[in-house]
Structure 1
């Protein structure tokens, strides 16, 4: 029997409501817990994203973020 993935690293995460709903849907469709779904996405990041459009999508997302104090 397959042993369940052990999640060893934890960190606080802030997500948009749309992003969180999409994560929950992906996790449910994949029969994974939310942490496992995030691990899968980041472990396979280069295979998951469309490299031709990701930079553009990132710039659009960044313009919607409020100014941050650094």
Structure 2
């Protein structure tokens, strides 16, 4: 693995079953590990998200979180 892509930080991640299946499917289709898939997605966040729909999706997600806490 190139020096630039060598992971230097680790953190525990909790995922929903749907998110985990999506990550596994994406990494398998891309031919990379799940760690590498997360690195790719986070380092390229702006180019892999639709800036017009992201705020709307984030509002929906936050509403679901709030509803779950109530």
TM-score normalized with structure 2 length: 0.83
Report the aligned-residue RMSD. 1.6
- The 4+ residue runs of structure 1 with deviation greater than 3 A are none
* Runs of 5+ unmatched residues, structure 1: none
TM-score normalized with structure 1 length: 0.83
- Of structures 1 and 2, the one with the larger relative CO (CA 8 A, separation 6+) is 1
Matched residue count: 66
* Runs of 5+ unmatched residues, structure 2: none
